[in-house]
Amino acid sequence: GKIATLNMLTYSPTVNTTFLLMNRYYDKAFQGMYAQTFSENSSVRNEIGCYIGLETSFLKDFSFSGHVDFFHFPYCRFQVDALHTSGIAGGGQISYSPTHSLSMLIKYNYSNKAKNNGNEEGDRQVIPFIRQRIQGQLRYSPSEQLRVKTVLEYVRSGFWKQMPAKGWLAGN
């Protein structure tokens, strides 16, 4: 059989800070019937990638986490009819929690990966598909029995150099 590897290195210079470096290699012919792992792809095959992450608590009530993931697909995959496509995904989150009953956070995520794009003539090109998402959350628990959570989110996605789709979500 073929191999799949996932290698990880963590480093904590202080109690409140952790760095993470993860490398993955999943051969095109690897077959793991019930395998589930860290992957940009939906299956554990045909992927090479490097993930870098940071989590830290700075100041008294603030925390930050961020990551970037570089990935490469040596062979064709679902909705991508091209060899050797690459992409990047990343994001960050800042949290503020002055008390146990109140917390706020802002998250941002970005992804850029190749995808098939057809036109009216039936031609298909593989071009970058870009997705950006920003989200704000507010959670308040005045008592053990009552919790309130409010979310506001904005998403923008589309193919490179084309008009993106945009959407808002508000809820609790």
| Furthest-apart CA atoms within the chain: distance in Å | 60
In this model, does residue 42 exceed pLDDT 80? Answer: no
Tell me the pLDDT tens digit for each residue of 95-143.
Answer: 999 998 999 999 999 999 999 998 777 788 899 999 999 999 999 999 9
Tell me the pLDDT tens digit for each residue of 136-153.
Answer: 999 999 998 999 999 999
Start-end of H helices in the chain: none
Q: Which helix (H) or strand (E) holds 72?
A: strand 62-73
pLDDT value of residue 104: 97
